[in-house]
Chain A
Amino acid sequence: MEISLRINGSAETLEVQPQVSLLDALRDQLGLTGTKKGCDQGACGACTVLSDGARITSCLALAVQYEGHEITTIEGVDHPLQEALVRADGLQCGYCTPGQICSAIGMLAEHKEGMASAVTEDDEVDELDEEEIRERMSGNLCRCGAYNGIVEAIKEVAG
């Protein structure tokens, strides 16, 4: 079926089967390969993109569900976090990095909107400290173990 998506600010029309994931549509049909496939079952976060500013795991999203939504992938991101990550060495092999970045941007917005996390005491959303960042970013795995650097970079831009 034919669907229209807005991706990184431009309108795209795609012919997709209803079972095709947003991740596969992005990578295989639109050539937006910055979004990665690490598990294809929502366990690793490498495929995280933003839909109307909210983070989603695109491997668990059907492309047809996102008709009319504004999708932002790493190719459309221009955020101080990217340079902060390099300075803090919050990456090694780089495979999880696009997902970490998109997830962090979505997470910062959630925090700004007052969304509590599992470690927020009494649901009083306060400063975004390291414990909060770690909890909120736990859906994004990094096997190289660059977590300290990622947290440091996020803290810097959340500042």
Chain B
Amino acid sequence: MTTAQKPTGAVGKPLDRVDGKTKTTGAAEFAAEHTYPGLAHAALVHATISRGRITALHTDDASAVPGVITVLTHRNAPPLEPVPKTSPLDLSSMVSGTSVDYLQTDEVYWDGQPIAVVVAENAAAANQAAALVRAEYAPSEAAVDFTGAEANARPQPSSPIMPAGAKKGDAEEALAAAPVALDLRFTTPPHNHNALEPHATVAVWDGDRLTVHEPTQAIDWFRAHLAARFGLPADDVRVLSPFVGGGFGGKGAVWPGTILTALAARATGRPVRLALSREGVYRTVGGRTPSIQRVAVGASHDGKLTALVHTSVTRTGRVGGFPEPVTTQSQHLYAAENILLEQKLVRLDLLPNIPMRAPGEAIGTFALECAIDELAYELDIDPIELRLRNEPEANPLDGKEFSLRTLAESYRQGAARFGWHERTPEPRSMRDGRWLVGMGAASAYHPAGYFTADITVRLSADGTVLVRCGFQEIGTGGATAQAQIAADALSVPFQAVHVEYGDSALPKGPFAGGSMQTATVAASLLEACKKLKRSLRTMARRTGGDSHEEVLRRANVPHIEAKVGSSTQLGRKSDQARFMLRLARDRRRWVRASTGAHFCQVRVDPDTGEVRVTRWTGVFSIGTVVNPKSAVSQLRGGIVMGLGMALSEETLVDPRTGRIMNPSLSEYHIPVHADVPPIDVSFLGTPDPTMPGGILGAGELGITGVAAAVANAVHHATGKRVRDLPISVDKLL
């Protein structure tokens, strides 16, 4: 590990995660494990058409199963308030997975939509009964074939926060005039998050107060959504989410299971648990959109880019979905004279898509970074050298300042660590026994920013510090990192800090998304610590005393506390306004991102086309590295997910029926131990001067660029360009 930081305090030290023991002893209690007296169990019945109406639902056989309490359908379910309209002025409105009013209508919007819920005394009875519900439908015409719908794509809705395109000069004209030009088409398939913990909900009503245990990446937004759907004040909803068994975006929205569990609990007057099966997750939790992308590049013979065109077609559902910002990285990576970026969308009768680790950049970097590699071969210039020749000094589109730009340094350090100079550029020129060997490189890019968070920090006379903020621990080691930051800010030992999180009863935490949680919580934490120190200084002037413990003892107060943020209605509104203003201001001033360079070595079996990734090096810039141990894990985790995307992952949607055909971990192949080589991760460690504590994001950066690095290495090994993910053996034979 190389890092420019010299840790003097806790920040920058590779400390063990504070919840390590809880997680290695089986003591960590995940949502599905919460139990209550009288707990009933729910199971979902899923629609088997993509669009239409339910004409009959036969529930008698299901109701007759011993132990069944009720079968809820659109005919007998209690009412629900409609889904709140999405508004940029209320970020919590982004949390609706779909706009469907579950069990309030006979309409079906996707294959897999829940059309009934069985509640029973035990899970086995609920599951058995759910399988006995029979539905009859009047199907209507459905559009479910993504590739077939390409011609109908419309421009994505554009906003200042998420522009759907960008333009500089006339890229098409420059492309036509370029001495060397390539015009390429890439495709990526749908993906599913496949967090190892399937979504689960335990819902309990106490009069008109609702408590929900559920793994979520967005406790506060989740609570706001539930309150809106059940017509409650937000304070009457409590969401507990102390452990989240992996999220990757899939737990960043409210999906039908959650709403229906709370509805079932209200209907039966019983606490209800719904633990989704793996198939249930595929049918009711959106995944990553597929994409069709065009990347066209034009260059002079010495490798200066004169034209860069990147366009994308992705999909959303007719009842919701997230327009994926596929061309984001193409705004910022290369100093092309002319740039044209366009994102288009088709709307299909499928379960709406949702962000999955680095939405946009994960698939966008695949197309862009493969195209750059292809151009390098066309020009006979080393692919890294070509990137360095086009490294911009300011944002290529508009000349805006980069807050921190270290990509060239990542390439220089990475090339040395990896041994790039040993690579002979000719495809099929390197061998290891009978295996073909290839090396490939690609850039990693992920935008950075931060939300707002409320926090309280309490300093006690016994020397301990209590930090309280309702953020989410989704595996990043958040509590450990924030304890490190608090320890340094207050000059106390790391062990003296305790962090409470994962509960809506705590001060409002941020969404764990966009790789923004660590910086967001840090911003409020640092501000609160500053306030505390100010109060202490004031106190010390009166009491005297060398340490804060001494000051508090002399003042005869057990503790002092500092707060950032307000939970009142007005406080929340002004919070939101401040966030939007800051976002707009920051975007005018800087382009902020975490970046890095990937180096991949593969070997390919010349007879079977089997690709094995044998070596990996990544050098990244994530600003201040709060905890190098958990930060390395974040980057490795992204790279591992990228390996799956490159080589094996694909959600198969039947283009005739819209049904997901491989809703299981035995048919959707995520990387296993044997697929993952030792991954060498290092950081440049330069703090970003514009971010709280100098911290950029780490969670999503790792996956960006990975599939391109693999594809480029596969080309180097075999001479074959695979532009359609995943790079499965059939494409290499």
Q: Determine whether the beta carbon of A137 is less than 8 Å from that of B673.
A: yes
Report the nearest A residue to B246, measured CB to CB. Answer: A93
CB < 8 Å: which of A74, A93, A138 contacts B474?
Answer: A93
Residues in B with CB closer than 8 Å to A38 are 196-198, 278, 665
Q: Is the CB of B197 within 8 A of A43?
A: no
User: Are A95 and B30 closer than 8 Å at their CB atoms?
Assistant: yes
Q: How many residues of A contact B (CB 8 A)?
A: 59
Q: If A33-B33, A93-B474, A145-B637 touch, does A75 touch B25 (CB 8 Å cutoff)?
A: yes
**A38 CB, nearest partner CB in chain B, Å:** 5
Instruction: Write out the residue numbers on chain B whose beta carbons fall within 8 Å of the beta carbon of A98.
Output: 24, 26
Asked whether A141 lies within 8 Å of B665 as measured between CB atoms, the reply is yes
Determine whether A58 belongs to the interface, using a CB cutoff of 8 Å to chain B: no
Which chain B residues in 209-248 approach chain A with CB under 8 Å? Answer: 243-248
How far, in whole Å, are A130 and B19 apart by their CA atoms in the complex? 27
What is the interface of chain B mostly: helix, strand, loop, or mixed? loop
Q: Are A41 and B278 neighbours in the complex by a CB distance under 8 Å?
A: yes
**When the two chains form their complex, are residues B25 and A144 in contact, meaning their CB atoms are under 8 A apart?**
no
Q: With an 8 A cutoff between CB atoms, is A6 at the interface? A: no
How far, in angstroms, from A98 to B27 measured CA to CA in the complex?
Answer: 10
**Contacts of A48 on B, CB cut-off 8 Å?**
none
Verify if B489 is at the interface (C-beta below 8 Å from A).
no
Q: How far is the CA of A79 from the CA of B474 in the complex (A)?
A: 25
A16 to B593, CA, bound (A): 55
Q: Is the interface of A mostly helix, strand, loop or mixed?
A: loop
Closest to A33 in B: B33
Q: Find chain A residues with CB under 8 A from B245 CB.
A: 36, 93-95
Residues A97 and B23 in contact in the complex (CB < 8 Å), given A89-B630, A92-B633, A145-B639: yes
CA distance A75 to B26 in the complex (A): 6
* B676 and A89 contact, CB distance less than 8 A: no
Contact between A135 and B674, CB atoms less than 8 A apart: yes
A133-B673, A134-B673, A141-B665 as given contacts; A95 in contact with B197, CB under 8 Å: yes
Is B278 in contact with A97, judged by CB distance below 8 angstroms?
A: no
Q: Does A46 contact B (CB under 8 A)?
A: yes
Interface string of B625-646 (1 = CB under 8 A from A): 0000110111011111100000
Which of B33, B195, B670, B673 lies in contact with A150, CB distance below 8 A? B673
A-chain residues with CB within 8 Å of residue B247 when the two chains form the complex: 93
CB distance from B30 to the nearest CB of A (A): 7
Give the contacts of B6-44 with A (CB-CB under 8 A): 16-17, 19-30, 32-33, 35
Closest 6 CB pairs of A and B: A34-B26, A145-B640, A94-B23, A92-B475, A95-B245, A86-B20
A-B contacts, 6 of them at CB < 8 A, read: A38-B197, A93-B197, A95-B196, A138-B673, A143-B193, A148-B678
Q: Report B's interface with A, CB cutoff 8 A.
A: 16-17, 19-30, 32-33, 35, 122-124, 193-198, 243-248, 275, 277-278, 474-477, 629-630, 632-634, 636-641, 664-666, 670-674, 676, 678-679
Interface, chain A (partner B; CB < 8 A): 17, 19-20, 24, 27-28, 31-44, 46, 73-75, 77, 82-83, 85-87, 89, 91-98, 101, 130, 133-135, 137-151
